[in-house]
Amino acid sequence: EAGVVQSPRYKIIEKKQPVAFWCNPISGHNTLYWYLQNLGQGPELLIRYENEEAVDDSQLPKDRFSAERLKGVDSTLKIQPAELGDSAVYLCASSRQQNTEAFFGQGTRLTVV
Amino acid sequence: KNEVEQSPQNLTAQEGEFITINCSYSVGISALHWLQQHPGGGIVSLFMLSSGKKKHGRLIATINIQEKHSSLHITASHPRDSAVYICAVRSGTDKLIFGTGTRLQVFP
């Protein structure tokens, strides 16, 4: 069974440019999470989807961040425009449903210069 | 004060040593996860437990719900165990709350 797949693995962009990350969860997993992880810190939740519905986006900076999960499968996370402070690892995770084990992707390491 | 605290923050060991990483939490939980993160960012789920003890190979995880405490043990440690180990708890609202991790280095 394939795990959670994220792309790209690494991205370097100039500040004020847009950037998008893509996540393909494990087949059959209804719950999808996007996390932000700063260096030396634990991941912080940005948004959680149950199928195609965003059920918790309270930590998502909506002025510049947006996410979508069309058809309740793949998801994209976008930042526009990116700021220097957005440099971090963006992790996607999925689980079969609420309260079940979550599986993580390899993450996308974003560097904003 | 963080809702999930791990100790130690950094740990150095010689190959073969028995290692313990501790996690304490202050919120009600439905489950606790132990995760392993290697350089490069990928996270692997090691255990999910809500009571008692689980064992997988050289890894053992225990949880004491009354004391709100969990431990991850590594027996016969090996340099390939070098990674960041993260404790995360699943709150009543299905949020995963992460600790800041314990960086383990095992030297030959």
Q: Is the peptide bond before A81 cis (omega within 30 degrees of 0)?
A: yes
Q: Is B46 on the interface with A (CB under 8 A)?
A: no
- Is the sign of the CA dihedral B42, A9, A93, A14 positive or negative? positive
Q: Can you read off the two tokens belonging to residue B38? A: 């290697």
Count of other CB atoms within 10 angstroms of residue A24: 18
pLDDT 10s digits, B43-72: 888 999 999 999 999 999 999 999 999 999
Q: What is the pLDDT of residue B40?
A: 66
DSSP per position, B36-66: EE-TTS-EEEEEEESSEEEEETTEEEEEETT
- Measured in angstroms, the CA of A9 and the nearest CA of chain B are apart by 9
Give dist(CA A39, CA B74) in Å, integer. 25
Q: Are B6 and B23 in contact (CB under 8 A)?
A: yes
Peptide bond preceding A25 in cis form (omega within 30 of 0): no
Q: Are B56 and B34 in contact (CB under 8 A)?
A: no
Could you tell me which chain B residue has the CA closest to the CA of A102?
A: B45
Tell which wins on pLDDT, A86 or B95: A86
* pLDDT band, very low/low/confident/very high, at B104 (cuts 50, 70, 90): very high
Q: Does A41 touch chain B (CB under 8 A)?
A: yes
Verify whether the Cβ–Cβ distance A109 to B41 is below 8 Å: yes
Q: What is the pLDDT of residues B72-86, one digit of tens each?
A: 999 999 999 999 999
pLDDT at B41: 63
Q: Look at A99 and B48 and tell me if their CB atoms are within 8 Å.
A: no
Percent of chain B with pLDDT over 70: 96
- Please tell me the predicted confidence (pLDDT) of residue A1: 60
Asked if B98 lies within 8 A of A104 by C-beta distance, the reply is no
The model's pLDDT over B7-56, given as tens digits with 9 standing for 90+, comes to 999 999 999 999 999 999 999 898 999 999 887 667 888 999 999 999 99
How many Å lie between the alpha carbon of A71 and the closest alpha carbon of chain B? Answer: 22
Of B94, B104, B90, B102, nearest to B3 by C-alpha is B90
What CA–CA distance (Å, rounded) separates A12 from A87?
Answer: 9
Whether residues B41 and A89 touch (CB distance < 8 A) is answered with yes
Distance CA(A103)–CA(A1), nearest Å, equals: 12
**What's the half-sphere exposure (Cβ side, CA atoms, 13 Å) at B93?**
8
B88 and chain A: CB distance < 8 Å anywhere?
A: yes
- State whether the Cα torsion B1-B64-A40-B8 is positive or negative: positive
Contact residues, chain B, for A48 at CB < 8 Å = 94-95
Question: What Rg value do the Cα atoms of chain B yield, rounded?
Answer: 13
